[in-house]
C-alpha cells in the first residue's frame, strides 16, 4: 500500500471541493473494496476523502411514489427496509445474495455500484491487465476465463461486473444521482451508467473524476413476482457464475436482468418482450451476439436453464 493522506468530509459540497483540491484523490465509503485494492497496489490514491458519514444514509419516499436511497445507505439496511422488502423484493434478495453479513454492514449503495471486477488477473500485479494497467494486455483472454464475460466484452478486456445489487437496480430501472465538483447535479439512468470496455477497460462508468454519487432512486413499484437466482459453485459467499433477476407479472410479461455475463448488469428490452414466450426466446434475445470462450461457454445454457427455473417458480 502506498502512503496516503486522509480527510473526512462532513457535507457533500465539502467532499467534492476536497476532491477538486487534492491530487489523485478517491472517495472512500465502506472501504470493503477500495481498501483491498489499495493493499495490493491495484489502486494507489494519494488522498482519501471519507464520505461514509455524509448525511446520505436515508431512504425516502419520492413524490413519484418511488424511493430515493441515499448513497451511504448500507447494504444491510437497504435489504431489510420494509418498503424495499415489500415493493422491491428483487433488490432485497439480490443484496442478501451478495458477500457476507459483515461486509453488507459496511458496504454502501454507491460503493456497491462502483465495486471493481473480480477477474483474478486484475488482482495479480505481475500479470498483464488492461484494466489495471492500460496497454499491458489481457491475461484472461487465452488464460483462465471460466468466470468471465460472454457478452459485451472486447479484445482488451473480458471482465464482468460482480455486483448482485446492480442487477436488481437494472431490472428495476434505477437512476443514479450525482453532484460534480462544480456542484452540478445530474441523474444518470442505470442503463447508461456503465461503460463498455472497448479499448479503455479502465474507464468503467460515465462518472467524471470527482463526481460524487448522492443517491440511487427507484421509480414507483411495478408489482409482480420478484425472484433473484444467483448460481455459484458453493452455496454462499461467492460471486455469481451467472445470476438472473426477474419481475414477472400475472400475464407473463415482465423484465429480466442478468449478472455475471458482462461488464454491466445485462438487460435488453427485446428480451423483456419475449418473456411470455419463455426462457429460450428470452435468452436468445438477451445473449444475442454472445462470444464466449471454451471455459465459459456453459454460461449460455446456464442462463437459459436458470431462467426457465425462475419462470416456472414465478408461475407457482
Partner 1 sequence: MKFDTPATTNPIDRLKVVGKPTNRIDGPLKTTGTAPYAYERHDVAANQAYGYVVGSAIAKGRIASINLDDAKAAPGVVAIVTAADAGTLGKGNFNTAKLLGGPEIEHYHQAIALVVADSFEQARAAASLVRVEYVRAKGAYDLAAAMDTATKPKASFGVEADTSVGDFASAFASAPVTIDARYATPDHTHAMMEPHASIAAWQDDKLTLWTSNQMIAWSVGDMAKTLGIPKENIRLDSPYIGGGFGGKLFIRADALLAALGAKAAKRPVKVALPRPFVTNNTTHRPATIQRVRIGATADGKITAIGHESWSGDLPGGGPETAVAQTRLLYAGANRMTAMRLAVLDLPEGNAMRAPGEAPGLMALEIAVDEMAEKLGMDPIAFRVLNDTQVDPEKPSRPFSQRRLNECMQTGADKFGWARRNAKPGSARDGRWLVGMGVAAAFRNNLNGPSAARVRLDRSGIVTVETDMTDIGTGTYTIIAQTAAEMMGLPLDRIVVKLGDSAFPVSAGSGGQWGANSSTAGVYAACVKLREMVTEKLGFDAATAIFADGKVSVGRRSAALEKAADDSELVAEDKMEYGDLAEKYQQSTFGAHFAEVGVDAMTGEIRVRRMLAVCAAGRILNPKAARSQVIGAMTMGAGSALMEELAVDKRFGFFVNHDLAGYEVPVHADIPHQDVIFLDETDPTTSPMKAKGVGELGICGVAAAIANAVYNATGVRVRNYPITLDKLLDKLPDIA
Ligand X SMILES: Cc1cc2nc3c(=O)[nH]c(=O)nc-3n(C[C@H](O)[C@H](O)[C@H](O)COP(=O)(O)OP(=O)(O)OC[C@H]3O[C@@H](n4cnc5c(N)ncnc54)[C@H](O)[C@@H]3O)c2cc1C
User: Residue 200: which residues within 8 A CB-CB, separation 6 or more?
Assistant: 134, 156
**Total of residues contacting ligand SF4 (CB under 6 A):** 15
User: What residue 4 binds from partner 1, ligand SF4, ligand X, none (CB within 5 to 8 A, per partner kind)?
Assistant: none
Q: How crowded is residue 41: how many other Cβ atoms within 10 Å of its Cβ?
A: 11
3-state secondary structure of 201: coil
Question: Is residue 306 a contact point for partner 1 (CB under 8 A)?
Answer: yes
User: What residue 229 binds from partner 1, ligand SF4, ligand X, none (CB within 5 to 8 A, per partner kind)?
Assistant: partner 1
Return the residue nearest ligand X (CB atom). Answer: 111
Q: Rounded to the nearest 10 degrees, how much is the dihedral formed by the CA atoms of 269, 270, 275, 281?
A: -140
User: What residue 2 binds from ligand X, partner 1, ligand SF4, none (CB within 5 to 8 A, per partner kind)?
Assistant: partner 1
Nearer to ligand SF4, 18 or 241 (CB): 241
Distance CA 3, CA 174 (A): 37
User: Residue 14: which residues within 8 A CB-CB, separation 6 or more?
Assistant: none
Segment interacting with partner 1 (CB under 8 A) among 53-61, 114-122, 195-203, 250-258: 114-122
Q: In terms of DSSP bridges, do strands 47-50 and 5-8 run parallel, antiparallel, or are they unpaired?
A: parallel
Left, alpha or beta for 95 (phi > 0: left; psi -120 to 50: alpha)?
Answer: alpha
* Options 18, 19, 32, 169; binder of ligand X; rule CB under 6 A: 32
Nearer to ligand SF4, 107 or 139 (CB): 139
Q: Smallest distance from the beta carbon of 49 to ligand X, in angstroms?
A: 9
Q: What is the DSSP string of 226-240?
A: EEEEEE-SSSSSS--
Residues that bind partner 1 (CB under 8 A): 1-3, 39, 41, 118, 120-121, 123-127, 139, 142-144, 146, 229, 231-239, 241, 279, 298, 301-302, 304-306, 308-309, 312
Amino acid at each position: 500500500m502506498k502512503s496516503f493522506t486522509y480527510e473526512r468530509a462532513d457535507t457533500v459540497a465539502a467532499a467534492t471541493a476536497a476532491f477538486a483540491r487534492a491530487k489523485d484523490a478517491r472517495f472512500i465509503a465502506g472501504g470493503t473494496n477500495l481498501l483491498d485494492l489499495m493493499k495490493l497496489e491495484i489502486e494507489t490514491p494519494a488522498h482519501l476523502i471519507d464520505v461514509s458519514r455524509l448525511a446520505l444514509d436515508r431512504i425516502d419516499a419520492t413524490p413519484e411514489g418511488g424511493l430515493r436511497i441515499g448513497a451511504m445507505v448500507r447494504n444491510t439496511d437497504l435489504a431489510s427496509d420494509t418498503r424495499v422488502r415489500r415493493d422491491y423484493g428483487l433488490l432485497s434478495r439480490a443484496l442478501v445474495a451478495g458477500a457476507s453479513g459483515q461486509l453488507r454492514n459496511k458496504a454502501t449503495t454507491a460503493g456497491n455500484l462502483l465495486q471493481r471486477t473480480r477477474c483474478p488477473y486484475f488482482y495479480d500485479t505481475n500479470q498483464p491487465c488492461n484494466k489495471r494497467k492500460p496497454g499491458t494486455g489481457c491475461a484472461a483472454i487465452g488464460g483462465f476465463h471460466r468466470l468471465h464475460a460472454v457478452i459485451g466484452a472486447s479484445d482488451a478486456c473480458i471482465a464482468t461486473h460482480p455486483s448482485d445489487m446492480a442487477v436488481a437496480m437494472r431490472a428495476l430501472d434505477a437512476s443514479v444521482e450525482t453532484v460534480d465538483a462544480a456542484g452540478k447535479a445530474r441523474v444518470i439512468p442505470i442503463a447508461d451508467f456503465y461503460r463498455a470496455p472497448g479499448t479503455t477497460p479502465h474507464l468503467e462508468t460515465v462518472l467524471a473524476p470527482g463526481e460524487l454519487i448522492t443517491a440511487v432512486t427507484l421509480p414507483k413499484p411495478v408489482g409482480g413476482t420478484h425472484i433473484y437466482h444467483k448460481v455459484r459453485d458453493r452455496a454462499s459467499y461467492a460471486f455469481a457464475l451467472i445470476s438472473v433477476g426477474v419481475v414477472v407479472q400475472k400475464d407473463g410479461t415482465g423484465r429480466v436482468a442478468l449478472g455475471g455475463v458482462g461488464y454491466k448488469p445485462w438487460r435488453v428490452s427485446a428480451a423483456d418482450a419475449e418473456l411470455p414466450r419463455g426462457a429460450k426466446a428470452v435468452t436468445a434475445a438477451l445473449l444475442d451476439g454472445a462470444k464466449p470462450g471454451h471455459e465459459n461457454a456453459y454460461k449460455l445454457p446456464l442462463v437459459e436453464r436458470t431462467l426457465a427455473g425462475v419462470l416456472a417458480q414465478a408461475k407457482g
